[in-house]
């Protein structure tokens, strides 16, 4: 039985908190809704989530955690007991969450040592419809993680958290290089990419539509931030994309129009990334070569099997 409902937020730690905040709350288009010295919570105006990104000042850059929702506190308890029975180390037992919106939550390490949080009963944030030509994120779309063994990571998430495989990318030289994973009809809310070490690959934000995706991309480019790849449209997921670096070298994406699947009839594909139409159906993004791919390897994450302090 699948107990996770949706992706809530991604929490990042960085040495220069103010520079990172200026990017996400300014150029990227999120809204700071809460914070204290050295920590900020940022919401997407179209999302009922209290926040979709948390920034924390730290000596070392790291991924603090990824948070998913569950429908009820009982589901949170059930999942925690399942993980314990499966030998998964818990960081904290289910209990009251001391973050904006409150709720009932617990944390644990995944197979690669990343901190994952699951919560229920978080108060909804008052949000609004994003208007035509308003080029700011509607919500958090998905997160992709680098793994030295993405097949093992995929199987762990299938077994313990109820994720299902939507599609796989395969290289003639490297074998399987990316798995797209879902917990709903959305093609993916999580992905696992083959990388040289455990790290964050990218965080993706849903835009209202193609025009807003392009306008937002242009704003980020005009502000002088480095565009890595795009605009284009993937085959797996059928979503449009443009990728950038944030001030600390994390990859962030504007996306829109991701495929909604019929889970009862869907069969995963294996796509050959040596075919250019697989990575970009439009042919507008530029070639996805090794240099472009390496932009998403990110730094070695010092937070592996180290719980964040908050």
pLDDT at res. 253 = 98
Question: What is the DSSP code string of 204-271?
Answer: EEE-SSHHHHHHHHHHHHHTTPPEEEEEEE-STT--EEEEEE-TTS-EEEEEE-PPBP-TTT---EEE
Read off the tokens for 72. 């009820």
pLDDT at res. 290 = 86
Q: Name all domains of the chain by residue range, CATH numbers in brackets.
A: 4-120 (3.10.180.10), 139-294 (3.10.180.10)
pLDDT at res. 6 = 98
pLDDT at res. 3 = 98
**Cis peptide before 137, with omega less than 30 degrees from 0?**
no
Task: Per-residue pLDDT tens, the chain, 310 aa: give them.
Answer: 899 999 999 999 999 999 999 999 999 999 999 999 899 999 999 999 999 999 999 999 999 999 999 999 999 999 999 999 999 999 999 999 999 999 999 999 999 999 999 999 999 999 999 999 999 999 999 999 999 999 999 999 999 999 999 999 999 999 999 999 999 999 999 999 999 999 999 999 999 999 999 999 999 999 999 999 999 999 999 999 999 999 999 999 999 999 999 999 999 999 999 999 999 999 999 988 888 889 999 999 999 999 999 9
Residue 39 — left, alpha, or beta (φ > 0 → left; ψ -120 to 50 → alpha)? beta
Nearest-angstrom CA–CA distance, 158 and 162: 5
- Longest alpha-carbon distance in the chain: 51
pLDDT at res. 292 = 86
Interacting residues of 218 by C-beta distance below 8 A, sequence separation 6+: none
Nearest-angstrom CA–CA distance, 123 and 58: 28
pTM of the model: 0.97
pLDDT at res. 288 = 86
The closest of 135, 155, 164, 120 to 8, measured between CA atoms, is 120
Nearest-angstrom CA–CA distance, 196 and 297: 7
């Amino acid at each position: 039985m699948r107990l996770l409902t949706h992706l809530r937020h991604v929490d990042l730690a960085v040495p220069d908190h103010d520079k990172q905040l200026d990017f996400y709350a300014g150029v990227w288009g999120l809204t700071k809704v809460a914070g204290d010295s050295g920590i900020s919570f940022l919401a997407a105006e179209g999302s009922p989530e209290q926040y979709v990104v948390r920034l924390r000042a730290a000596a070392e850059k790291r991924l603090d955690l990824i948070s998913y929702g569950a429908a009820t506190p009982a589901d949170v308890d059930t999942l925690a007991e399942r993980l314990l029975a499966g030998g998964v180390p818990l960081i904290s037992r289910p209990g009251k969450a001391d973050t904006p919106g409150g709720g009932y939550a617990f944390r644990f390490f995944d197979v690669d040592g990343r901190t994952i949080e699951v919560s229920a009963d978080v108060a909804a944030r008052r949000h609004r419809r994003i208007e035509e030509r308003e080029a700011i994120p509607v919500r958090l779309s998905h997160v992709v993680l680098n793994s030295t063994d993405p097949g093992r990571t995929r199987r762990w998430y299938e077994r313990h958290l109820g994720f299902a495989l939507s599609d796989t990318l395969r290289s003639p030289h490297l074998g399987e290089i990316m798995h797209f994973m879902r917990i709903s009809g959305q093609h993916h809310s999580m992905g696992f990419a083959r990388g040289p070490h455990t790290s964050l690959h990218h965080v993706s934000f849903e835009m209202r539509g193609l025009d807003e995706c392009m306008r937002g991309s242009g704003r980020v480019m005009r502000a002088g931030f480095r565009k890595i790849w795009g605009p284009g449209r993937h085959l797996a997921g059928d979503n449009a994309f443009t990728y950038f670096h944030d001030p600390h070298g994390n990859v962030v994406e504007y996306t829109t129009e991701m495929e909604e699947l019929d889970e009862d009839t869907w069969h995963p594909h294996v796509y050959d990334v040596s075919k250019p139409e697989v990575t970009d159906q439009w042919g507008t993004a530029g070639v996805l070569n090794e240099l472009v791919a390496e932009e998403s390897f990110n730094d070695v994450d010092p937070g592996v099997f180290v719980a964040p302090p908050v």
